[in-house]
Amino acid sequence: MIYFDHNASTPVRPEAAAAMGSALAELHANPSSSHRDGQRARVAIEHAREQVAALVHVRADEVVFTSGGTEGDHAALIGAAWAAEPRGRRVAFSAIEHHAVHGAAEVLARTGFAASHLGVGREGLVDPAAVAALPPDTTVVAVMLANNETGVIQPLAAIAAAAAARGMRVVCDAVQAAGKIPIRRDDLGADFLVISGHKLGGPKGAGALIVRRGAPLAALFRGSAHERGRRGGTENVPGIVGLGIAAELAAREVAGENARLLALRERFEALLRASVPGVVVHGAGAPRLPNTVNASFPSARSDHLLLALDSRGLAASAGAACASGGVEPSPVLRAMGVPRELAICAVRFSLGRTTTADEVERAAVIVADAVRLVRSTQGAVT
Ligand code: PLP
């Protein structure tokens, strides 16, 4: 199987898996216990905190361990909105945010908070100037660093500057960007940065929320003072250890991997353009993650295509969701103004650390073959 679905989840680094195995076997004590066994677990957590902090160039005490991206998005958006409640009860987020951010806004809506949306242009980019038009009771703005479907990278520094000028806090979901492009939190200007282990070679169920010193945050999980009162709950020691190792390796390799993946992706796109008539690459005119290609193959519905790809040994994914016999186009592509009939023919290919040049060549042949088959067997695209 050729695995081109690294944005969904990328393999755990062997070094992380080995360290997690040892932590599971040996670091059984509660890291909050004062005895020696407890303190050994504590030391492992604090080492991982340094490793994660180094990945995004922040101080270790700004790192709060979470269960991953979904929790991080909730903790940041809800926690920042609660902390700013005296100034307003509205958050804003871009139309292309991950479901986790939409979900966090739904939680806020249940307690009377309002939400505003920032649209995107044809290439999937948020216009920083749109921040100036947000209603004055907006206290928190959430814009992701890189989109999970298209890989499009947002002009975060300009967005954060526009938000700061209006006294708004900025939540940045960096789940897809972390480990794929170099990140310096201070260059982005975000107050809260969200990271997930399983997107960068660590385990599922472990992640981090980076909280800028002094940025007000009301804890979502309460009842105990873990993580300096910012996230209650006994720490997932093996998960945190695995996340730490993955973060350290990613930091070390990001520059080289970035260049290697970009060359592979460019080759893959060139092959697709040469062998599949009518292919459209979404967000091609914007800065993008080096590993992500989101392409529509007109007249070949993505659910049919994914099956044909899978049976030929290529794993990819679609933003479109199957709904009662038909397909619903990806909200991300719709927000970019992609027509419905094109959006339901989109497939995301995401390359990663294990991807080879040979796989790229073979994958392009498989795609061309699958598109031909689907186009020849499929009736009108609906
Ligand atoms: N944010 C983005 C951009 C993602 O791509 C994902 C996962 O697909 C998440 C958040 C959720 O992360 P997790 O799976 O760790 O909950």
Strand pairing category for 90-94 and 280-281 = unpaired
Q: Compute the 3-state secondary structure of the chain and give helix, strand, coil in percent, each to the nearest 5.
A: 45, 15, 35
Q: Are residues 161 and 69 in the same domain?
A: yes
Average pLDDT over every residue of 274-301? 97
319 and 370 co-located in one domain: yes
Residue 258 sits in the same domain as residue 245: no
| Bridge partners, residue 99, by sequence | none
Residue 364: is its pLDDT beyond 80? yes
Residue 365 pLDDT exceeds 70: yes
Looking at 228, 249, 270, the residue that finishes a domain is: 249
One domain for residues 279 and 140: no
Report the pLDDT value the prediction gives residue 327, as an integer from 0 to 100. 78
DSSP class of 381? -
Per-residue pLDDT of 116-172, as tens digits, reads 999 999 999 999 999 999 999 999 999 999 999 999 999 999 999 999 999 999 999
User: Same domain, yes or no, for 245 and 258?
Assistant: no
Domain boundary among 249, 266, 283: 249
First to last CA, the chain: 30
- Per-residue DSSP letters for 82-131? HHTGGG-SEEEEETT--HHHHHHHHHHHHTT-EEEEE-B-TTSPBPGGGG
Beta-strand (E) ranges in the chain?
A: 2-3, 63-66, 90-94, 114-118, 138-142, 169-173, 192-196, 207-211, 280-281, 292-296, 314-315, 321-323, 326-328, 346-350
Q: Same domain, yes or no, for 32 and 143?
A: yes
- Confidence check: pLDDT of 325 > 80: no
pLDDT for 2 equals: 98
- The yes-or-no verdict on residue 378 having pLDDT over 80 is no
* Residue 369 belongs to domain with CATH number: 3.90.1150.10
Q: Which of 199, 243, 291 maximizes ligand 1 atoms within 8 Å of its Cβ, making it the mutation to test the pocket?
A: 199
| CB of 289 closer than 6 angstroms to any ligand 1 atom | no
Q: Name the domain boundary from 183, 216, 249.
A: 249
- Number of domains making up the chain: 2
Given a cut of 90, is residue 270 above it in pLDDT?
A: yes
Q: Residue 216: which CATH number?
A: 3.40.640.10
- Asked if residue 202 and residue 64 are part of one domain, the reply reads yes
Do 81 and 154 lie in one domain? The reply is yes
Q: What is the pLDDT of residue 322?
A: 60
Looking at the structure, tell me whether residues 242 and 285 fall in a common domain: no
| pLDDT at 380 > cutoff 60 | no
pLDDT surpassing 60 at residue 381 = no
pLDDT value at residue 328: 86
Q: 319 CB under 6 A from ligand 1?
A: no
Residue 273 is part of which domain span? Answer: 2-6+254-377
Position 169 in a domain: yes
pLDDT in tens, 9-35: 999 999 999 999 999 999 999 999 999
- Please check whether residue 291 lies inside any domain of the structure: yes
In angstroms, the CA 124 to CA 115 distance is 20
Share of the chain above pLDDT 90, in %: 95
Q: Answer yes or no: is the C-beta of 251 below 6 A from any ligand 1 atom.
A: no
Q: Is 0.85 topped by the overall pTM?
A: yes
- Stretch 198-208: mean pLDDT: 98
3-state secondary structure of 308: helix
Question: Average pLDDT for residues 219-231, to the nearest whole number?
Answer: 93
Tell me which residues are annotated as active site.
Answer: 322
Identify whether residues 228 and 288 lie together within a single domain.
Answer: no
- Angle at CA 233, nearest 5°, toward 227 and 237? 80
Q: Among 340, 345, 348, 331, which Cα is nearest to 96's?
A: 331
Ligand 1 pocket mutation, candidates 5, 12, 148, criterion most atoms within 8 A of CB = 148
Asked if residue 352 and residue 319 are part of one domain, the reply reads yes
Averaged pLDDT for residues 41-45? 98
- CB of 173 within 6 A of ligand 1: the answer is yes
Ligand 1 atom closest to the Cα of residue 67 is 15
Residue 157 within a domain: yes
